Amino acid sequence: MPSTKTTPEPRAPLPRWGTQQEAADLARVSVETIRRWASSGKITASRLGPRRVVIDLDSVAALAQPLRPDLGGKR
């Protein structure tokens, strides 16, 4: 009887979580802007208690992509 091993399905990568300050540094904006983006749903944030908020840094990086990638960040 031949062995039929199945490989597990690849999982989507887990989000990288960081502080509001790390997210602000990544996007080169203020922490207040990060808070506004999280409140409006532009980026993913999660509350880990009464005061601690973490930000999905991948959602920040995706939001901070240039509108015209063909320019390579040049104007």
Tens-place pLDDT, residues 9-41: 777 676 799 999 999 999 999 999 999 999 999
47 pairs with which residues across the strands?
53
51 band by pLDDT with thresholds 50, 70 and 90:
very high
Q: In three state form, how does the secondary structure of 5-46 look?
A: CCCCCCCCCCCCEECHHHHHHHHCCCHHHHHHHHHHCCCCEE
Predicted TM-score of the model (pTM): 0.69
Is 74 a residue whose pLDDT tops 60? no
Q: Which is higher by pLDDT, 8 or 38?
A: 38
Q: What are φ and ψ of residue 26, in 5° steps? A: -65, -45
Residue identified by tokens 């104007």 is: 75
Mean pLDDT across the chain, nearest whole number? 85
- The per-residue pLDDT for 69 is 63
User: Which H or E element spans position 63?
Assistant: helix 57-63
